[in-house]
Amino acid sequence: MEKMNLNKHISGQFNAELDDIRNRVLAMGGLVERQLEQSLDALSTLDAELAQKVIEGDHRVNGMEVSIDEECTRIIAKRQPAASDLRLIIAISKTIADLERIGDACVRIAKAALDKRTNNQQPLLVSIDNMGRHATRMLHSTLDALARMDAENALELHKEDAKLDKEYEGIIRQLMTHMMEDPRSIPGVLDVLWAARAIERVGDRCKNICEYIIYYVKGKDVRHTSYEDMEKDVNS
């Protein structure tokens, strides 16, 4: 990934601190991306060993969030950053919180792979896997936009969440039909439903990160605004 476009400072140490925190958040993103890929592999193949690996690996994601957040607090207290430097620290602090929640979603997906009731829902898992791979691509692209602090790309990716939401709605209809046709399948289908919900939340978190990228680059808080207004802010 290319480096974020950071301002250079008279203090070489400050530059090094910003560079370090950038590298750490990208490393955390890479770990979360692997967690997502492995949780989906575990669900599609019902691989209990791989699912357990994902669950046990979540502590690394949590630890990275805590350590990066502590470093953000230390930099603010020591350097008292302003303007774009402060926006960068805020954007990173918010980003790691969303990355940690994506890690939690991976755990939920992995737990669905461990539930024996899911074994009888193999046809439903195909749709889940397709949606999951879409979410994985969105996360990868979002992390790439973060590395380059590319507001234009972030804007495009922000729209991608709507497509993921439509896939989720389609899966919900499919699951509801399946439960009505065979009430005995309800426990297993509910496990698949929770996995689908977790994947849908990955898209929401990616959308949030895209908003933080725009905030850093343009200095505009675009949360809770329409896409049209967001587009004006990015292109202004």
Separation of alpha carbons 32 and 128, rounded Å: 19
Separation of alpha carbons 202 and 108, rounded Å: 12
- What percent of the chain lies above the pLDDT cut of 70? 92
pLDDT over threshold 50, residue 82 = yes
Q: Give the pLDDT score at 2.
A: 41
Q: Read off the amino acid at residue 191.
A: D
pLDDT over threshold 50, residue 88 = yes
Q: Give the pLDDT score at 7.
A: 53
For 215, residues 6+ apart whose C-beta sits below 8 A from its C-beta are 87, 90, 91, 221, 222
**Mean pLDDT of all residues in 99-111:** 96
Cα-based distances in Å from 85 to 67, 68, 215: 19, 16, 12
Instruction: Please check whether residue 98 is in contact with residue 69, taking contact to mean a CB–CB distance below 8 angstroms.
Output: no
Lowest mean pLDDT among 141-145, 156-160, 230-234: 230-234
Instruction: Please check whether residue 18 is in contact with residue 85, taking contact to mean a CB–CB distance below 8 angstroms.
Output: yes
Q: Give the pLDDT score at 3.
A: 46
pLDDT over threshold 70, residue 122 = no
